[in-house]
Structures are given as C-alpha cells and as structure tokens.
Amino acid sequence: MKKINLFRFPLLFLVLSFSTLQAQTSVVISNDVDAPVINRNIYGHFAEHLGRCIYGGLYVGEDSEIPNTDGVRNDLIEALKNLQIPILRWPGGCFADTYHWKDGIGPQEDRPTIVNQWWGGVTEDNSFGTHNFLNLCEVLGAEPYLAANIGSGTVQEFADWIQYVNHSGESPMANLRREYGREKPWGVKYWGVGNEMWGCGGNMTPEYYANLYRQYATFMTNWDNETGLYRIASGANVDDYHWTEVIMRDVPHHLIEGVALHSYSFVEWGDKGDAVDFNEAQYFSTMQTALKMEELVTKHSEIMDKYDPKGEIELIVDEWGGWYDVQEGTNPGFLYQQNTMRDAMIAGVSLNIFNNHSKRVKMANLAQTVNVLQAVALTDGAKMILTPTYHVMEMYKVHQDAQLLPVEFDAPEYTFEGESLPAVSISASKDSIGVLHISAVNIDAENENEVEFDLSGFDLDGFNAEILVSETLQDHNTFDDPEKITPSEFKDFKFKKGRLKMTLPPFSVVVLESK
C-alpha cells in the first residue's frame, strides 16, 4: 500500500479519521443461572472419505516413514488432542450412503476395493475402516459419530453394524468383532440415519424419508450401551424449513434424539470464488452466508419448539464451514482449499451463534478435519500446518461444557456498497470453577470497533486476552511460513469498576479470560 503523508493533507486526515471512527458498542452480559450449558459437541469435527482427508491426511499407513500411531499421523493426533476435540463424524457425507462397513473390517489383504463415486472417482482399498476410526477416537478421547448407509444399504446392514461395535455378549457380529481382534465393544452412542437424503442420499422427499427413518430407527437396538443410542435424522438443506417441519411432525419423538442441518458459506453457489485471491465484495458476500446461520438456527428451532416445547430433540449442525473453488491444479473432486483470515471470521461468528443458541443446538461438526474445505490442518507429505480456523477453535475451546452467559447489544454495522452486516459478534460463558470467557469477533474489513462490557454483576479482578489478527484478509499459513497467523497476547483493553472496554481491530478474533 502506498504511504500518504497525512500532515501534508490535513483535510484528508480529517476525512480518513472520520471514516474509521466507530461508535462505542455497549454490551450487557447476564449471570443467568438458568442459562443452558454449551455442549462441548458444538466444537465437533467431520472427516469424510473425500480427497486427502482420510488417505494422506489422517491416515498414512503403519508402514509410512511419517511418525504414526496405527497408521494415523502423530502430528495430527497431537493437534486434535490440543483442540480437545469432543466428537468426530465419519465416514461421510455423501460417501456414507455408498459405504458398506463390512468392506472395511478384517485382514487388509482380504478387503475389497471401492470406487468413490462422489469424490473424484478414485479407487480406495478400504484400509481405513471401522476399527481404525473407532480406535482413533479412543486415542483422541473423542466420541465417535457414525453416519450410516441408508441410501444404498439395508436395515439389516445397519443393525449388524450397531451389533458389531456395541454388543458385548454372544452374537454373530460380536463374535466377528472378536475374530478381528477387538474383545471389548466400543459403545458408539451417536448415529446418523443417512446423510443429505434430500440430495446425494437419494433425492428423497421429506415425507418419504420420514417413513424410511421410522423403519430404520425401529431396528436400532440399544444392546449394552447404558446411555442409549442417539439417533440423528438427516436434516434440512439450509432454509428448507418444510423438511424440518415434516421430520418433527411425522417421526414419533421416542424414535429420534437429533435433527441435522447443513449450511456452507461461500460467495455464491455457482461461483464460489478463490480461497485466497478474493476481493472485499467476495468477502462481504461470504460473510452474508455465514451470518445467515443465525436466521437458520432461529427458524429451524422455532419449528422444533412447536412440536417439541420441552426441547428434548436437539438441533445438530453437522456440516458447516467455508466452501470455495478448489486450489488450481488439484483434483476438482478433492475440495482442497487454503484457509485465510476470512475463514477465521467464519469460524468465530459461527461458533458464537452456536454458543448463543445452545438451548437447542447441541452439536456442530466443522467440515472438514484435514485437507478438505475449511480444514483445521493441511498436509504435504511429512509436513503439516495449522490453519487460522484451527487457532480460532483452539481459542474457543474454553467454552466447552461451560454455562452460557447471555449477551445483549446492538451491533455496529459493517457496510459495503450500500449493504450492511452486523460487524461485531460476541458470546460468553462461565466454566465450572467460575472463570468467565468472552469471545468477540469484528468482521469489518476496514474499521476497528470499540466495545464496552457491563460486567457489574460479576466479582472480577481483571482479564487476560489473546487475539488472532493479520495484515490482510487474504493472509494464510503456508508450508514455507507455517506460523504467519497465530494467536498473540491482546492488551488493547481496560477493566475498571466492572466495566471492560476494548478496541477490536478489523477482521480480528479476541478471547478474554477473567483472572
């Protein structure tokens, strides 16, 4: 950027100063003992057999020179442990409704190959299967979330999978599990009954799927899982409110625990734009779709409230994140993209929305874990980098299982070419030992925003804080410069007599922790 001597142009200095001046935003944070707990599963992840997410991403094989545990690369294991990853969804996605789980068990040399018809038409050898995934979840300390094949599978196949992973007694599937080296069942709780049944799962109507769901859910036997099975219905595509209406109306509530919702952030569906080479108009458009999550969660929750006023059925946003054109020179079916400060903005505002709607939203799964869409990590052979999205997830992990603290404020506007969006997004929580955390995002591409918090209802001594920010929205970590964007200490705030005042730089994420 060309430097301008503002002292030579005093009038210009006044104009520029006025253009970046933002009114102070006042935020009231309530210490509401009846507020819900932010379910840790809101910070969940999603790993599909798609591109290099599994093969070459998570899984490199036991014979790889890359340090690994049972074929899963150790650097990624440690990175996900650091995130305190609570739940991991697998094997899809669209892939789930073409996956036959028995192809991925038993001796490696006996496993058949499969053509991944959804993602690139590549041939896979099924070397990563049920045992590999569930053992990985144990290593990570994460709950497994299995998405079952409804589109091209059978009720019997589904029931057998549940028996295989959950039954401790004598049975054909339990004995087969023992034959393949696992005595103790894994006790899988979370099950997706199909995926995107309105699209790649079978292009079904909601009425047809509701009946099909009832059939499959009926034969989902609990076996030895003391906590019971948690059955998640394939939910709406973005704002298809009729889909949610039919599921809530037509499925008996004793057969269902959760309803899914999928929504991605992009410039526009037909032209998603480049992941790095984007302008402010494309950034603004992407943030419009990201912030629409507030409307989606609100309206789908209202439908659920109508049929389930006690809130016993939960909203599961098991696919969300930024989606752009693939990186030039890569397989278009692999959905590999870079990850910039724009993605940090998507992550920050999305997680704030989920936190603030934690009365109904009990799980969310970022798409996807590694090398696909809005990944938290990217790999290149033995190299691995952590993305800006990873760092937001790491900063926000303090909200897991903490009590929500409701926030009230009128957000300042981020205006571009006559359109406006709320510039500031905030959520807050109090953990089990009384420590308060506030996460704040300023999505404005040009202007800082001053925010003052009324914390008079809390007994606090002060705050520590960290910030994720960079020079341009397009900045990203690379294999040559893996730490270009990392969190750093944030000091631009003052706390006095229950008032916390801070200035948020343009496109930044800040998390504060009370002392």
Mind listing the pLDDT tens digit for each residue in 17-38? Answer: 333 546 689 999 999 889 999 9
**Encoded tokens for 451:** 């925010």
Residues 6+ away with beta carbon under 8 Å from 412: 22, 23, 25, 422, 423, 424, 444, 449
Q: Is 227 or 439 the better-scoring residue by pLDDT?
A: 439
The DSSP secondary-structure symbol of 306 reads H
Whether 329 shows a pLDDT value over 80: the answer reads yes
What is the pLDDT confidence band of residue 224, given thresholds at 50, 70 and 90? low
Q: Which helix (H) or strand (E) holds 367?
A: strand 361-367
Distance of CA 332 to the CA centre of its chain: 22
DSSP H helical segments within 357-446, as ranges?
388-396
Cβ neighbours around 328 below 10 Å, total:
7
Q: Please report the DSSP string for 179-241 in residue order.
A: HTT--S-----EEEE-S-TTTTTT---HHHHHHHHHHHHHT---TT-TT--EEEEEEEETT-H
Catalytic residue among 48, 124, 196, 314: 196
CA pseudo-torsion sign 120, 124, 128, 131 = positive
Whether 13 shows a pLDDT value over 60: the answer reads no
Mind listing the pLDDT tens digit for each residue in 59-78? Answer: 999 999 999 999 999 999 99
Mean pLDDT of 447-473: 95
Mind listing the pLDDT tens digit for each residue in 304-325? Answer: 999 999 999 999 999 999 999 9
3 state SS of 463: strand
Looking at residue 328, its pLDDT comes to 93
For the question of residue 170 being annotated catalytic, the response is no
Catalytic residue among 124, 257, 314, 319: 319
Residue 327 near residue 338, CB atoms below 8 Å: yes
Mind listing the pLDDT tens digit for each residue in 374-385? Answer: 999 999 999 999
The DSSP secondary-structure symbol of 120 reads T
Mind listing the pLDDT tens digit for each residue in 113-171? Answer: 999 999 999 999 999 999 999 999 999 999 999 999 999 999 999 999 999 999 999 99
Looking at residue 225, its pLDDT comes to 56
Looking at residue 271, its pLDDT comes to 86
The DSSP secondary-structure symbol of 445 reads S
State what percent of residues in the chain have pLDDT above 70.
Answer: 95
Looking at residue 143, its pLDDT comes to 98
Mean pLDDT of 203-224: 92
What is the pLDDT confidence band of residue 279, given thresholds at 50, 70 and 90? very high
CA dist., res. 465 & res. 471, Å (int): 20
Whether 8 shows a pLDDT value over 90: the answer reads no
Q: Which domains does the chain have, with CATH numbers?
A: 9-33+406-514 (2.60.40.1180), 40-401 (3.20.20.80)
For the question of residue 450 being annotated catalytic, the response is no
User: Which among 200, 332, 357, 336 is positioned nearest to 276, based on CA atoms?
Assistant: 336
Q: Which helix (H) or strand (E) holds 366?
A: strand 361-367
3 state SS of 502: strand
Mind listing the pLDDT tens digit for each residue in 389-401? Answer: 999 999 999 999 9
Whether 9 shows a pLDDT value over 50: the answer reads no
Q: Is 256 or 9 the better-scoring residue by pLDDT?
A: 256
Order of strands across the sheet with 25-29?
407-408, 25-29, 449-454, 499-504, 493-496
Whether 269 shows a pLDDT value over 90: the answer reads no
The residue type found at 9 is F
Whether 80 shows a pLDDT value over 80: the answer reads yes
Q: Is 374 or 15 the better-scoring residue by pLDDT?
A: 374
Residues 6+ away with beta carbon under 8 Å from 5: none
